[in-house]
Chain A
Amino acid sequence: MSVDIITVMVISVFAGFLGSLVGLGGGTIVIPILTFLGVPLKYAIANSMITIISTSSGSASAYVRERLANIKAAMYLEIFTVIGAIMGATLTLLIPSKYLYFFFAGFLLTSFYGIRRKTYNNVHENTVQDKFSKWLELEGSYYDMSTKRRVDYKITKAYLGGPAMMIAGLAAGMLGIGAGAFKVAIHELILKMPPKVSSSTSNFIIGMTALAGASVFIASGLIILTLAAPMAIGTTIGSLIGSRMLPRMKDRTIRILFLIILVYLIVQMLYKGVISL
């Protein structure tokens, strides 16, 4: 293997930067690049989980203070994502790497949801809550800076959203990623969360899911300090720079960038999968 600390750090800054610009998350970008450089896939996945705890917790901190993340919804959904992540990480230890490449490529397709949601940035007004969601007190309000008004919202179909989040957790634990696009899709399409609440609550949940997945990988000895540390430092720095640049970037530029990166990552993982068969 021919990677060193400096290379991993540079790649991670780049991945964190691009990830925060296009909303993919650093893990999704850094794992395919590391495998391309010769890091075994399972090591890349396991060490990426540590990175995700750092980037997710860092950005979630701001969202929580601004009351964008719904903590009650997050706590309820975490029951499912945490179980899913433990199952997913255990599966990764059992499945041969060659199949994981295909799972990774397949799961990247769910990221296309990110493109669609940018065009429909609407808030579901007058959501009728079912009894279970009402019992769970799944509602909230936040101040929307762009429209300069307070938005009150209600979350529904928690009985469906919870189990669906187990699949998101499973994919996250299995592939060493946040699976943010998948979580956001569940939040918006099933639970009817407003987009801003959806992405910030997803970010909040990702850190906890990553911890559950990381606990499995650590017990199996896949975490390497000299790999995990530069990944965590680099991705966090990169995502901080990216989040500062984001307001200055044109929406169209971001979407084109997103498409190019996504297609590249899918092709690369499929290629690695095919040659390892």
Chain B
Amino acid sequence: MKKFDLEVIVSYILIIGVVVSLIMESLGLIMYVINKGTINIDLGNENVRIKFQDFFVYLLITTLSVFHKFDSISIMTFGLAILMLTPYLRVIASVLYFIFTHNYKYILITLIVLIILTLSLIVH
């Protein structure tokens, strides 16, 4: 059986995550400029402000929203969520790798990172 190669898996997670998110953000941005007819950045515009307390609820809502609405804001929001999910998935892949290789020290270390990150994404 082919060896479970952490480096290759992590490398793919990172590049796919970044490429997908940048495509979504570019598409959303182009649609935004065309539909709104403006290139101005309005920091007071609540429609373009991202604010959530629980990332995972936000991810679920964003994913449903992008398929349901497919408008510029939901596409850009989805791109941002994918981008944030990328390093998070990288830690999950590392935890799984160390579980497969029975490296208990690193299961513990990667789990600590995963728990801290998860808490920072859901508790404020």
- Chain A residues at the B interface, C-beta cutoff of 8 Å: 1, 3-6, 8, 39-40, 43, 50, 53-54, 57-58, 60-62, 64-65, 67, 71-72, 75-76, 78-79, 82-83, 86, 135-137, 207-208, 210-212, 214-216, 218-221, 223-230, 232-233, 236
CB distance from B24 to the nearest CB of A (A): 9
Q: Which residue of A lies closest to B17 (CB)?
A: A57
Q: Which residue of B lies closest to A213 (CB)?
A: B120
Do residues A5 and B94 form an inter-chain contact, with CB atoms below 8 A? no
CB distance from B72 to the nearest CB of A (A): 9
Alpha-carbon distance A136/B106, docked complex (angstroms): 8
Chain A residues in 8 Å Cβ range of B73: 225
CB distance from A94 to the nearest CB of B (A): 14
Chain B residues in 8 Å Cβ range of A214: 84
Chain B residues in 8 Å Cβ range of A79: 109, 112-113, 116
Given that A50-B80, A225-B73 are contacting pairs, would A5 and B41 also be in contact in the complex, using a CB cutoff of 8 Å? Answer: yes
Alpha-carbon distance A139/B8, docked complex (angstroms): 19
Do residues B49 and A221 form an inter-chain contact, with CB atoms below 8 A? yes
Alpha-carbon distance A57/B18, docked complex (angstroms): 7
Do residues B49 and A223 form an inter-chain contact, with CB atoms below 8 A? yes
Which of B28, B51, B76, B117 sits near A221, CB closer than 8 Å?
Answer: B51
Chain A residues in 8 Å Cβ range of B80: 50, 223, 225, 228-229
User: Is B1 interfacial (CB 8 A cutoff)?
Assistant: no
CB distance from B59 to the nearest CB of A (A): 12
Q: Which of A83, A210, A220, A228 has the most CB of B within 10 A?
A: A228
Do residues A4 and B39 form an inter-chain contact, with CB atoms below 8 A? yes
Do residues A64 and B51 form an inter-chain contact, with CB atoms below 8 A? no
Which of A39, A86, A224 sits near B50, CB closer than 8 Å?
Answer: A224
Do residues B7 and A75 form an inter-chain contact, with CB atoms below 8 A? no
Do residues B51 and A219 form an inter-chain contact, with CB atoms below 8 A? yes
Given that A223-B49, A226-B41, A229-B29 are contacting pairs, would A54 and B11 also be in contact in the complex, using a CB cutoff of 8 Å? Answer: no
Which of B15, B25, B43, B90 sits near A229, CB closer than 8 Å?
Answer: B25
Do residues A65 and B8 form an inter-chain contact, with CB atoms below 8 A? yes
89-108 of chain B: CB within 8 A of chain A:
90-91, 94, 105-106
Do residues B116 and A5 form an inter-chain contact, with CB atoms below 8 A? no
